[in-house]
Structure formats: structure tokens, C-alpha cells
Amino acid sequence: MKRYTSIIILLLFAMLAALAAGSLAYGQNLRENEHYKKAIELQKKAEAANARGDYDKAYEYSEEAKKQTQMAADLFAELVLKFRANSLLQQAGNRLNSLKTLGVNDDDQPALDQAADDYGVARSSFNDREYDQSIEYSNRVLAALMDMEAKTYETAATQPEPAAEPAGEKPLPKYYRVRLIPDRRDCFWRIAEYDFIYGDPFKWRLLYDANKEKLTDPGNPDLIHPGQLFEIPEIKGEAREGEWEPEM
Amino acid sequence: MKKFLIFGLLLIGLIFVVSCATAPKKEPVPAKGEVVPPPESEYGQAKELRSRIEKWGLDRYAAEEFGAAEGRFNEGESAYNKDNAKAKTAFKDAIKGYQAVIDKGFPAYLDEKIAGVESLKKSAEEIKAPVALKNDYNGAKAVYEDALNNKKKEKYEEASDLLDRAHTQFQSVYDVTLAKKYRAEKNIDEANEGINELESAAEQEQIE
């Protein structure tokens, strides 16, 4: 049991480091998108010109607003794709490293080597801004690792359990209280992304499903409030207890 | 006695001379059997006024006066070359009548045109043509004001032509302004849609 727990903790800490370095860099905010801001400003000018009867100017401003909006949308789409590519790349890298550290069966070594090669392609594609390709290769890595991880954990689970839990190891939290963070608003996506939760923002729906009845509008996962206490369901049998407390 | 007789005759002669010298002038009455020339000038003038009225359709603004003038004109034509003296008098009456029709009908006719131009001008102003199409609007307005001045000076034909021009110009100003307005508003709506779509996409991605 101790080894099993150690593996999970190792994986989670690895994810934390990677996500902290990667995903936070892509906290895109549409309101900070220069093209978006320009488009809004131009639209205001267009409406003012239209109101005073300067229709040619109004047309010009709104035409420019359309161009700026398109540029904002292109940039936004690229950032979203980059964010996803980076998130997957980090996950793939962390899990690959963890598995390398833990070691795999000899039979799986070629598959692990192939995953490492694919990871290299994913990383270079990301650097070349070929985000679609990067996502494709990161997914290949994650799919390949899934089988190997299952075998590794299975092996770990069949190992004789140690007599007692070592003192000083902090269990994962069972509850998370929504915080008021001005720069990085808490939402299910971001909560799921925390290493002590799942380290994977794509698992946000697990959190939402388990806590939707606590929401003001259960049908709207976007509407959560600071102070709300959410339960964190176990996903791999990991031990969880207590409420998470931020380190001071 | 002889002196009195001479004096009396002289007095009678003087009275005769004085009375003949101060008698009112009368149209020369043609002597019986004398041929009176046809009143060509009066006839021509009456026809000219008549055709002017027809051209502008002024008879509908003074139907009664026009009817009377027409009656006299027809009488003149009937008497022409038969009883030219009568024809002349009839044509003179017709001329007076036609002129009255013109004096009453033309201002009324122009007022109708002015109302049409005024209405169009107002419509153009309501869609802000003075801003959207400043030069064209000012051009139309100048022509319109010129027409009004001509009407004041009783230059009716000139005023009418200018009002037609002003009407055409204001119509064009209105049409072009409206097209510009629609084009601008459509584009603004499209731009707003684009922005809304982008905002929705950002919300869905939960990374706004």
C-alpha cells in the first residue's frame, strides 16, 4: 500500500511542477486581448458615428472592428490550442518520467522507448507551434503509458503492504474550499488542475458532478462562489481526508 | 341791333368751336361700309396666354375665371374676320381673364411643388443627410432657396424649373443617405455578432 501511495504522490508532484511551469503561462484572458479591446473600441466609435449620421465613418469603423475581431479570434483559437497542447505535453512528460523512474517490465521497454520518441516529436512540434501535431503525439504517449501504468500499479498493489504508514506524509485533501483569487479565478477546470486535486483540468466534470447540488444553479458549472466547499471524489482509490489548506 | 346780331353770331360760333375742341375722344367708329382689319395682335396675345395656361395646367386653380376667359376667346374667334371690332373687344377681355388665371394659378401650382420638396427635404434631414451627404444636401438646399426667391419675384417658370431640380436633388440625397445608413448599420450588426461569438467561445473555454 505504501508503494502504491508513493507512486501516486510522485506522479502528482511531478504534475504540479510541470503544470505550474506550463499551464499558468497560458492563462489567456479575452479582456486582455489587444485585438478584442481594439474591436470593442472601434465598435463604440462606429455606433457614435452612426448616431450622428456619419455613415461612411461608421462603416469604416465597424469594418475595422470586424477585422480586429477576426484577429482576436485567431489569436484566441491559437492560445486555446497552445494551452491544450501544453497541458497534454506536460502530462505526457510527467507520466513518462514517472514511469521511467519506477521502471517497467522488460516486455514494455520497447513501448516505453517508442513513447519517449513520440514525446520528443510532441515537444518539438509544440516548439514549432504545430499544436495539432503536438496534441496528437502527446495523446499517443498518454495512451501508450496508460497500459504500462496499469501493469506497474498492479504490480505495486500485489506487493506485500508495509506494517504501518510512515509518519509525516500528508494525505490528499477530501474537500476544497473555493478561493477568491483575483488573478486566477477558481473554477472547476482550474480546481481539477491543481496537483492535490487531479492535476488534470479535463477531469473537472468529476468535481462538477459530485458537487452540482451545492451550486446556486446546478445546471451552470461556471457559477461557483468563494467559500463553497466541494467534495473531491477519489478516482484511483487514493486516500483523501480533510479540507485542503493553502500553505502560508 | 346789327351789332347785337354780329356779337350773337360770334358767340354761337365760339361756343361751337369750344364744344368741338373738348369733346371726349371716342373709338373711331368706322363709317358705314369701312373695312376693320382683323385684331391679329390681340388674338395672338390671347392664344399665347392660353397655351401658357394649358402647358402648366393652371386652369384647375382658377376654373371659373378660365371658363369666362375661354368664353370670350371663343366669341372673339367666332367674330374674327366677320365682325373684327367685336372680335377685338372679345380678345381683349379674354387676355384679361387669362392673365388673372395665371396670376392666381401659378403661385398655387408652385405651392404644391414646394410642399413636395419640403417633405422630401424633411425626410432627408430625419436620416441626417446634412451630415452624411453634406455637399449634396447643401447643393439641393441652395437650388431650393433660389426657387423660392424666383417665386417671390414672380418668375414662375424659372421657379418651377428650380423646384423640379431641387426635388430631384433632394430625392437623390435621401436615397443615397438611406443606402449609406443601411450599409453602416448592417456592418455594425455583423461586427457585434462577431464580438458576441468570440465572447461566447471564450466563456465556453472557461479560460476567459
Rounded mean pLDDT of A160-178?
A: 65
3-state secondary structure of A195: coil
Contact A152, A109 (CB under 8 A): no
Whether the CB-CB separation of A97 and A15 falls below 8 Å is answered with: no
Per the prediction, chain A carries an average pLDDT of 81
Nearest CA to A148 out of A195, A116, A193, A172 is that of A116
How many helices, marked H, and strands, marked E, lie in chain B? 7, 0
Cβ of A53 within 8 Å of Cβ of B208? The answer is no
Query: Within a domain: residue B145?
Result: yes
pLDDT band at A104 (very low <50, low <70, confident <90, very high): confident
What pLDDT, on the 0 to 100 scale, is given for residue A100?
82
Instruction: Name every chain B residue with its beta carbon within 8 A of the beta carbon of A52.
Output: 128, 131
**Residue B37, helix vs strand vs coil:** coil
What interhelical angle do A55-102 and A34-52 show, nearest 10?
160
Question: Which chain A residues have a beta carbon less than 8 Å from that of B129?
Answer: 53
Q: Check whether A181 has a pLDDT greater than 70.
A: yes
More confident position, B92 or A234: B92
Residues of B in contact with A63 (CB under 8 A): 187, 191
pLDDT, tens digit, for every residue of A112-167? 899 999 999 999 999 999 999 999 999 999 888 887 877 776 665 565 544 444 44
Give the C-alpha distances (Å, rounded to integers) separating A215 from A101, A184, A202, B207.
41, 20, 20, 20
User: What is the per-residue pLDDT for B205?
Assistant: 75
Cross-chain Cβ contact B127/A53 below 8 Å: yes
> pLDDT band for position A178 (50/70/90)?
confident
Which of B127, B201, B207 is the closest to A83 by Cβ? B207
Helix ranges restricted to H, A103-196: 109-127, 131-158, 188-193
CB–CB contact A80 B205 (8 Å): yes
Percent of chain A with pLDDT over 70: 79
Residues in chain A: 248
**In what helix (H) or strand (E) does residue A177 lie, and over which residues does it extend?**
strand A175-177
C-alpha B45/C-alpha B65 separation (Å) is 17
- From chain A, the residues in CB contact with B188 under 8 A are 43, 46-47, 50, 58, 62
Chain A residue numbers with beta carbons less than 8 Å from the beta carbon of B181 are: 50, 53, 55
Helices H / strands E in chain A, number of each: 7, 2
Per-residue pLDDT, A167: 45
- Per-residue pLDDT at A30: 78
Which residue of chain B is at minimal alpha-carbon distance from A62? B188
Is residue B96 predicted with pLDDT exceeding 90?
yes
User: In this predicted structure, what is the pLDDT of residue A8?
Assistant: 56
The three grid cell numbers given for residue A28, joined into one nine-digit string: 489567456
User: Residue written as cell 386652369?
Assistant: B59
- Which residues have CB under 8 Å from B187's CB, separation 6+? A46, A58, A59, A62, A63, A66
Q: Do A69 and B191 touch (CB under 8 A)?
A: yes
Q: Is residue B152 part of a domain?
A: yes
Residue B150 lies in a domain: yes
Give the CA dihedral B168, B169, B174, B177, nearest 10 degrees: 140
Helix (H) or strand (E) holding A33: none
Cβ neighbours, 10 Å, residue A108: 18
DSSP secondary-structure letter at A30? G
Give the residue from chain B lying closest to A40, CA to CA.
B195
Q: With a cut of 90, say whether residue A12 has pLDDT above it.
A: no
The pLDDT tens digits of the residues spanning B28-40 come to 555 666 678 999 9
In chain A, which residues have their Cβ closer than 8 Å to the Cβ of B184? 46, 49-50, 55-56, 58-59, 62
CA angle B43, B48, B49 (to 5 degrees): 100
| pLDDT value at residue A148 | 80
Residues 6+ apart with CB under 8 A from A70: B194
Q: Are A30 and A68 in contact (CB under 8 A)?
A: no
Q: Check residue B9 and give its pLDDT.
A: 57
Distance from CA of A69 to the nearest CA of B (A): 6
Specify whether the CB–CB gap between B56 and B50 falls below 8 A.
no
Question: Mean of the pLDDT values across residues B17-46?
Answer: 70
Provide φ and ψ at A188, rounded to 5°. -55, -40
Question: Which pLDDT score, from 0 to 100, does residue B147 have?
Answer: 98
- Look at residue B66 in the predicted model and tell me its pLDDT: 98
The more confidently predicted of residues B192 and B14 is B192
pTM comes to 0.60
Instruction: Identify whether the C-beta of residue A173 lies closer than 8 Å to the C-beta of residue A247.
Output: no
Whether pLDDT at B110 is above 60: yes
Q: Compare CB distances from A66 to B131, B191, B203 and report the shortest one's residue.
A: B191
Q: Is B183 on the interface with A (CB under 8 A)?
A: yes
Chain B residue closest in CA terms to A35: B195
What pLDDT, on the 0 to 100 scale, is given for residue A9? Answer: 59
- With CB atoms and an 8 Å threshold, state whether B195 touches A53: no
How much is the ipTM here?
Answer: 0.72
Confirm whether B176 is domain-assigned: yes
Instruction: Say whether pLDDT at B15 is over 60.
Output: no
Kindly state whether residue B18 falls inside one of the protein's structural domains. no
Q: Which residues contact B115 (CB under 8 A, 6 or more apart)?
A: none
Average pLDDT, chain B: 89
Q: Which residue of B has its CA nearest to A29?
A: B208
pLDDT at A228: 85
pLDDT of B10 reads 56
Per-residue confidence at B135, pLDDT binned at 50, 70, 90? very high
Beta strands A229-231 and A175-177: pairing type? antiparallel
- Residue B152 reports pLDDT greater than 90: yes
Q: Which residues of A touch B (CB under 8 A)?
A: 26-31, 36, 39-40, 42-43, 46-47, 49-50, 52-56, 58-59, 62-63, 65-66, 69-70, 72-73, 76, 80, 83, 187-189, 222
CB atoms closer than 10 angstroms to residue A79: 19
How big is the A-B interface in CB pairs under 8 Å? 97
- pLDDT of B123 strictly over 70: yes
The confidence score (pLDDT) of residue B159 equals: 97
A49-82 residue pLDDT tens? 999 999 999 999 999 999 999 999 999 888 888 8
Whether B185 is covered by a domain: the verdict is: yes
Determine the angle formed by the axes of helices A131-158 and A2-22, rounding to 10 degrees: 160
In a domain, B30, yes or no: no
Domain count of the fold of chain B = 1
pLDDT value for A15: 52
Distances in Å between the Cα of B114 and the Cα atoms of A81, B7, B122, B141, B151 are 66, 78, 12, 12, 10
B187: containing domain: 38-194
Give residue A18's pLDDT band: very low, low, confident or very high (50, 70, 90).
very low
Residue B5: in which H helix or E strand, if any?
Answer: helix B2-21
CA distance A4 to chain B (A): 34
Is residue A27 pLDDT above 50, yes or no?
no
Choose the mutation target among A34, A35, A55 for the interface with B, i.e. most B CBs under 10 Å. A55
Report, as an integer, the average pLDDT of B115-131. 98
B15 touches chain A (CB under 8 A): no
- CA gap A115, A95 in Å, rounded: 11
Chain B residues closer than 8 Å to A26 by CB: 207
Position B134 in a domain: yes
Instruction: Please choose, from the candidates A105, A112, A115, A97, the residue with its C-alpha nearest in 3D space to the C-alpha of residue A156.
Output: A105
Contact A73 B183 (CB under 8 A): no
Arithmetic mean of pLDDT, B153-173 = 97
